[in-house]
């Protein structure tokens, strides 16, 4: 099947599923499979990782996608290893792919990711001299530079990996303190992806103003926030900033970044 996804980020999701299946299965088999699904949102492939581990209590099935959450049934020499599924949940939201699990105590677990099907004729175009539509869309991103300023480390990692996949250089993906420490005169990126609330007393627009003072220039901004504040959106528009509401979908981010960079030329 041909699917629409980012292959590197999808690989990270599946590697995480498999590594956790191995870690928590003392015996039995681990099976990886996929099935085609049809629904109101179109055709998808659901990729599943089945294990025969101890299973997960229903009360914990949501919590294990939280950062640092782990189960007690891991191997004795693996006490410090958590499930690490917070990054999977964030990658899924970034890509627009559903993530989930089903589990029964004593019988094992199934972790799955739901990926949209792509054009079945796309493989015929691979290797063709003409650029694909995705390559054309990504052309403004190739060789561009962007900073990701976000207080959530997992979101930083996921966003940095996605931007690099699109051909962007991402010298910094971190919080306000890290950004301020790395800002040097004359070394501003072309674009800043800026969260609003950066932890503590750090407010995104204020951090950006200080960064501009240190850079000696004002790069383009896309404000990324979980707030649904119309005033904030209006203020961003008045400053000429892009605006995206969390959870951010990869196609929307790519399109807005491309539009923003094209305006700079």
Q: What is the pLDDT of residues 14-23, one digit of tens each?
A: 988 998 888 8
CA distance 87 to 65: 8
Tell me which CATH homologous superfamily contains domain 133-264: Response regulator (3.40.50.2300)
Q: Residue 246 has what pLDDT?
A: 85
pTM over cut 0.75 = no
Stretch(es) of the chain classified as CATH 3.30.565.10:
7-116
Q: For 76-134, how does the pLDDT look when each residue is reduced to its tens digit (9 = 90+)?
A: 433 333 345 777 888 888 888 999 889 888 888 999 999 998 876 655 544 444 444 44
Query: What pLDDT is stored for residue 4 in this prediction?
Result: 85
Which residues make beta-bridge pairs with 39? 42
> Which residues, given as ranges, of the chain have pLDDT below 70?
65-84, 120-138, 265
The per-residue pLDDT for 134 is 46
Q: Which structure tokens are listed for 245?
A: 């509401």
CATH 3.40.50.2300 residue ranges for the chain: 133-264
CATH of region 7-116: 3.30.565.10
């Amino acid at each position: 099947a041909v699917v629409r996804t980012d292959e590197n980020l999808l690989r990270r999701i599946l590697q995480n599923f498999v590594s956790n299946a191995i870690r928590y299965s003392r015996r039995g088999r681990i099976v990886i499979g996929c099935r085609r699904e049809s629904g109101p949102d179109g055709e998808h492939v659901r990729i599943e990782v089945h294990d025969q581990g101890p299973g997960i209590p229903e009360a914990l099935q949501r919590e294990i996608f939280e950062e640092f959450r782990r189960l007690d049934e891991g191997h004795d020499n693996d006490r410090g290893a958590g499930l690490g599924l917070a990054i999977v949940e964030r990658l899924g939201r970034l890509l627009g792919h559903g993530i989930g699990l089903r589990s029964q105590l004593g019988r094992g677990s199934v972790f799955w990711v739901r990926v949209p099907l792509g054009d079945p004729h796309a493989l015929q175009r691979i290797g063709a001299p003409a650029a694909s539509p995705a390559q054309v869309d990504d052309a403004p991103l190739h060789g561009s530079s962007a900073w990701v300023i976000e207080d959530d480390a997992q979101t930083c990692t996921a966003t940095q990996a996605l931007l690099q996949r699109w051909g962007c250089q991402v010298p910094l993906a971190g919080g306000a303190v890290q950004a301020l420490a790395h800002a040097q005169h004359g070394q501003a990126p072309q674009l800043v992806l800026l969260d609003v609330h950066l932890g503590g007393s750090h407010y995104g627009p204020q951090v950006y103003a200080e960064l501009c003072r240190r850079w000696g220039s004002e790069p383009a901004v896309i404000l990324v926030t979980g707030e649904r504040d119309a005033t904030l959106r209006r203020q961003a528009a008045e400053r000429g900033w892009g605006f995206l509401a969390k959870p951010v979908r990869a196609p929307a981010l790519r399109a807005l970044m491309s539009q923003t960079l094209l305006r700079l030329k």
